[in-house]
Chain A
Amino acid sequence: MRRLRPETRWAYVFVLPWLAGLLVFQLGPMVASLVLSLTDYDLIDSPRFAGLDNYTRMAEDPKVARAIGNTVLYTALHVPLAIVIALALALILNRVTGRAAGVFRTVFYLPSMTPYVAVGVLFLFLLNGQAGMVNQFLALFGVSGPQWTTDPDWMLAGIVVMSLWNLGTTTIILFAALRNVPRELSEAAMIDGAGAWQRFRAVTVPMISSALFFVVIINTITSLQMFDQVYTMYFSSQTAQQASGDAALFYVVYLFQQAFQFLHMGYASALAWVLFVVIALITLVQVKVGGRLVYYEAEEHA
């Protein structure tokens, strides 16, 4: 056997805790849930092998279709909005210099420090159709706001509004990318007579495209996994649940209900695995497509 160099050996020693954690807390449970997804398991009695029953049942379950529809629609609304707004915020931040800069960077990130559960409760108040501040604000312009929290046609819109609260991380990543755009490029373009929009389109966006690409992927994944805020708002108690019907049923919420409310652990495991595969596929597609659109400085460009 080839002898490892001492440094290499030490590297493995240091990686060991992480590896152990990965095996015990990540891969182990994942394999267990894959096995469970092929069984009928209610926590109390031992699992009973059921083949692919759980997966065929998913295909026929109208609630799964509804949950997927809600989740996909939410993702399609949230991701572009979140990125455009976060980019706008990052551009503003990029303009602030001097001593105030630190303050503003902190302030822009602060909302992201709010725990998700608190955000859910907070927005339940803000969005309340009768007494919420969102509708009070709309009323200033003579707009009679919708019943965000109780009208099934508006619940998803309300959730998208709420989701724009936690943009801190996306903003910071984009801001860091903007800081790295070399000033010379912009200046050169300016000398060539490029306007502000042209400079933004032709210089800034390509230069931060790898960061943009990264936040698109991350935001897509977290959107598909949306749970905490929605669960707090519409599923935390029985009264809340029956009032919202299926309008706020997200995929992970349904998964959680199946697992911990109805104790269909096998079915819930199957749901989890389908989500995992879907996210893996979406990310793969994004990487393939993104490779063509993203500019990496380190690459050779002919």
Chain B
Amino acid sequence: MGFGLPDEIATVRVDAFKKAYPGVEVAINQGQFDEQAFLSAVAAGNPPDVVYLARERIGTYAARGAIQPLDACVAKEGIATGDFYPAAQQQVKYDGKWYAMPEFYNSIVLLVNNKAAKDAGVAPQDIDTSDWDALAALAKKMSKVSGGKIERFGFYPKLPEFLPLWAKANGADILTGDGRTSLLGDPKVAEALEYGDRLVRSQGGWTRLKAFVDTFDYFGEQNPFAKDQVGAMLTEQFVVSAMAGTSPDADITVLPFKDRQGRPVNNVGGNAWVVPKGAKNPDAACRWIKTMTAADTWVAAARARADKRAKEGKVNIGTYTGNAKADEVIFSQIVKPSGHKAYDDAVTVIRSVQEAGFVVPQSGAAAEFTKAWQDAATRVLLGRAKPAESLRQAQEETQRALDDAGHS
């Protein structure tokens, strides 16, 4: 459940499992993860054996007992958990136990539209997000508004979604490492949100800009970079990967997002495999999870992707897995320079920010926590509340939810 077979990255790994365990019948209920369907299945006592979902949800489900710990599975099958990136490991653990195994490892980078930078009189590679005043000035210069109509979003800070990243760039965490104490009330978080809000306000205001970005199609040939609709934006690397397929000659530059001290910051995420409570074949589920996330399987999948893109004459920027050991092989042996400098440089940048990856610590109230800070940021962007008071409210809401959840 939650998984699909849209491409070779999926099919190659599924075939690897079928070959290794011919006795196990695999039935994939394709389609996006649907919380309602999942929880109803668990409640009815008839869940799928294994489910594929976003890692940030794990804490909530673990605390509710909807998914089971995998410690026994890890021990029995000898899953090499040490191969996973540390941030990915942290995100699939709750209360000191493994509850999932990570799939992809999505990094956040700064994607620059070179034309917009040049229009603003700046060399794209000189853009540096550590200087907030300069960044605000650049955002304003790159944005184009005429008569209330947005023509180009100068710098899209990707708020409210990326608030944890902005907080980190300002040197603040939003939740303590043990997942028990909310830090949303930290003045540094408010400062980051205030800055982001100022960026948005100076470029035309949230309601207009949001309506504008709602029209974007990041994954098609008519993406906002091809259409010169955005100057620069923070985004997960998979947008770059998709653009490599659709717009190989795009005039773009990929840069690390730097904190105010000039160090790269990167809020990582991705999906994961979990075993629901009441799964009928936990052993097979465990083997499935092991196969899907193992270094060898990933390498085979990445090779298939590289071959396919090569055959189609398309650029391949590689497959960014949660498995560091697999990535070593993928990026030293499989991904070769494509001759498209923008994308070849992008690979180097994405690889370089991976080790700076951090996650918001897992908690039993992960869903409520996320909703509270997103609401808080939205209130500010809509001009309904000041950053400090809005985040203070979120601090109270989240602390109550954290105190209520799990930890019994």
Q: Which residues of A contact B (CB under 8 A)?
A: 42-45, 124, 128-132, 144, 147, 149-152, 238-239, 241-243, 245, 260-263
Contacts and interface: CB of A to CB of B under 8 A. Distances in A.
A147 B367 CA distance: 29
B214 A263 contact: no
A243 to B, nearest CB: 6
B211 A147 contact: yes
B35 A130 contact: no
Interface stretch (B83-91, B102-110, B374-382): B374-382
Interface string B142-171: 000001111000000000110000000000
A138 B59 CA distance: 48
B210 interface: yes
Interface stretch (B8-16, B36-44, B295-303, B314-322): B36-44
B343 interface: no
Contact of B211 (A149, A239, A241, A245): A149
B43 A152 contact: no
Contacts of B160: 242
Nearest to B32: A237
A242 B375 contact: yes
A43 B40 contact: yes
Contact of A242 (B42, B66, B368, B378): B378
B379 A261 contact: no
Contact of B35 (A243, A245, A261): A261
A144 B147 CA distance: 9
B337 interface: no
A150 B66 contact: no
Given A150-B207, A151-B207, A238-B374, 15 more contacts: A43-B39, A44-B65, A128-B211, A129-B207, A130-B212, A131-B211, A132-B211, A144-B148, A147-B210, A152-B384, A242-B371, A243-B378, A260-B35, A260-B36, A261-B367
A239 B208 contact: no
Contact of A131 (B215, B375, B378): B215
A61 to B, nearest CB: 13
Contacts of A144: 147-148
A21 to B, nearest CB: 22
B206 interface: yes
Interface in B120-160: 147-150, 160
A43 B35 CA distance: 13
Nearest to B206: A150
Nearest to A153: B207
Contacts of B208: 129-130, 147, 150
B180 interface: no
Given A130-B212, A147-B211, A44 B374 contact: no
Given A147-B208, A245-B378, A44 B66 contact: yes
B76 interface: no
Contacts of A152: 382, 384
Contact of A130 (B43, B150, B367, B378): B150
